Amino acid sequence: MWTWDGDDRGDRATAPTARLRYPPAVSSASSRGARYLDPLDALWTEAAARMGLRIERTDEVFASVDGYGRIRLGTPATLDGDDCLAQLILHELCHALVQGEARWAEPDWGLDNRGAGDDERERACLRTQAALLAPRGLRVVLAPTTDFRPFYDALPEDPLSLGPPAELALARVAAARLDEGPWAPHLRVALDATASIVHAVWDAGAPEGSLYARYEAPDDLSPPPAEGAP
């Protein structure tokens, strides 16, 4: 719809300047105040919330857990280009899986990040992360970006199969906790939904060089992993 803003009588050449005037856009009550969120950001922030955890972005730390339900994660400006909020949240949840529900209310899940004393548990966390991601084609898409990345990349196809016995034991117990405690069912739901979103982008033609292009489509996309499997 438009109206003629000017004198419509007589010679148009002598009429005031014509101007198309469109009716003002009407915003619906449902969209007023809404803002766009990255789908994976929204998905993982909500998954964490359903586990009783609040995500806060800050430029003061890379990752920190206060033991009172708050996870502080670096802002986009402080992160590398291959980092994303979904991976950061998942990594923290994998630490929580390794540490167990008894450490849920401890700062940094009861880990000491100032030395190498908990490296075994860090490696178990990375094994858990890979085990949860691999069946969904996301092992590279949501890979960690810390100094432990070479270790992660070198893990076998089944990250729970070969390695130091104590490290494997921690990771296997952690993966088995997926359907227990505060993680259930929210972590599994977030993982499966992420696989669906990433697959859709990849299938539509993910830009070369993007993390979506690193998706590895599983041979069988129909059923999600059965309950009890990571």
Residue 22, pLDDT above cutoff 50: no
Grade residue 221 by pLDDT with cuts at 50, 70 and 90.
low
Name which residue leads in pLDDT, 1 or 144: 144
Query: Encoding tokens for residue 70?
Result: 């708050």
**pLDDT score for 7:** 45
CA angle 43, 88, 142 (to 5 degrees): 80
Report the Cα 5 to chain-centroid distance in Å.
Answer: 51
Instruction: Kindly report the pTM of this predicted structure.
Output: 0.81
Burial code (b: 16+ CB inside 10 Å, e: under 16) for 119-148 equals eebbbbbbbbbbbbbbbbbbbbbbbbbeee
Residue 118, pLDDT above cutoff 50: yes
Residue 152 parent element (H or E): helix 149-153
DSSP labels for 74-107? E-GGGS-TT--HHHHHHHHHHHHHHH-GGGTTSG
Cβ count near 4 (within 10 Å): 12
Are the CB atoms for 82 and 211 separated by under 8 Å? yes
Angstrom distance (rounded) from CA 214 to CA 67: 34
Cβ count near 202 (within 10 Å): 19
Q: Residue 65 forms beta bridges with which residues?
A: 71
Query: Encoding tokens for residue 156?
Result: 């076998």
Those residues whose C-beta lies under 8 Å from the C-beta of residue 24, and which sit 6 or more positions away, are none
Angstrom distance (rounded) from CA 137 to CA 114: 33
Name which residue leads in pLDDT, 55 or 222: 55
Mean pLDDT of 196-200: 96
Angstrom distance (rounded) from CA 169 to CA 155: 15
- Each residue's pLDDT tens digit, 137-172: 999 999 998 888 999 999 999 999 999 999 999 999
**pLDDT score for 113:** 72
- Each residue's pLDDT tens digit, 67-108: 899 999 988 887 877 789 999 999 999 999 999 999 999 999
Angstrom distance (rounded) from CA 97 to CA 91: 10
Residue 64: phi, psi to the nearest 5?
Answer: -155, 140
